[in-house]
Structure 1
Amino acid sequence: MPVGSPILFFRFFFGKDYMDGHILLDSMENSRASDRRVLVVESEPALACEITTHLSRIGGVGEVCSVERLNQARESIGDGDFDLVIFDPIILDDPVVDGEWVLDSPKLSCVFFSSLDTARLALARTRIGVAGVVQRAEGVPALCQYVEDVFHGRTAGKVPMDSKKRTRRVILSRQERRAVYSLGQGYTLKETAGRMKINPKTVETYKSRALTKLGISSRAELIGLVAFGRFPDP
């Protein structure tokens, strides 16, 4: 028996069947490790069941879990290793700044299955964790197709799962988002500073950074972004 051959060593002492069985188990473990884990946050049991059933049929999806409330999702994400979270952003008080633990995480991706108007989510889509938006009116099949496209790298017009590739689109910090969101709603620089509890010069800095990233050069374009969602898709 050649020295330094661990496979031959184990086959010599334990037999070929033992080794082949364990190699197969290792292969299965590696396959399971490559499967994606999805967490669905949905308060309607029938809809949650429909979503999980359809998602589980997607190739590459290993496990789909469902919870009813966002606080349960936070606990589940803390306990498990999920790749994708799906929920309606209406459960957040403000999708532009809330939900930092999931929407600002470079380790997670989130797809909004949204009942909100798309325009309200324009700035929310500048958060690194947001992989895209599917309107609830489009139905569960559209949601699952979107998720499948993201998982399989068909990401034209979508945000890739790879966190390194995600940064190739426009990403705004929390303070940058807050500043342009307030200004885009019609608040003055001074009023925005009061709302953010910082000085106006700092607001101006955040605004300038954000507008540069967004490719916006006028107040009208900023208002158009906030009010009507006129923002280039990632």
Structure 2
Amino acid sequence: MSNFYNELPKITFQKFRLGVFLFTENEFIRTRVRKAVSILDNRVNTTPCNKRAFPQPKVEKKLYIVDPSIIREKEHDIECLLNSDKFSVLLYGGPAGDLVHAQSVRYVASNEVDSKELANIIADVVGIKHLNRAPKLSQREREILQYYGRGYTLKAIGYELGISPKSAETYKSRACRKLGLTGRAAVLNFIDPRLQKTSVIH
């Protein structure tokens, strides 16, 4: 069972803790789900109601993310999971077929859904209504990302904006943390091409 069963790190919200359990043997799906959980956790940490400001909640929710292709091979192991309304299941990966009618299935997503959208889906399925899907960047943070994504060094960014390289690093790190971005390539991929046509210096 350990070959296809994965328990991901819990996410603590203001009112409950969420445990995510993944059933798959597909490394691609496993990577995307782990990234989605990480994105969701980062979003929780950057909302005004930061989880660190509250005591650990006693209520626990569980979400089971199941790759439909695993069920044909391991049907006897997770049959009770699918046929009970006590569980919440999100089918993610290959074709779901008749599994969409299972009692516990709350949502079906194809493997074309990327980690960011999967994080949104997970939030919806477990009833997180107050969570910002797209964390708001300050004007300065957006300016920094524009420069950083286009290859400017932190020293050059500081010079352009009249701030110290250390301040530029602080803004850049904060913006990347809000958006779940790692590395210059990820920042470049995030930047809206329409924004690149406008001046970022004010």
TM-score category of the 2 structures, normalised to the smaller one: 0.3 to 0.5
Mark the structure with the bigger radius of gyration: 1
| TM-score for the superposition, normalised by structure 1 | 0.35
Point out the structure with the larger helix share.
1
**Higher RCO (CA 8 Å, separation ≥ 6 residues):** 2
TM-score by length of 2: 0.40
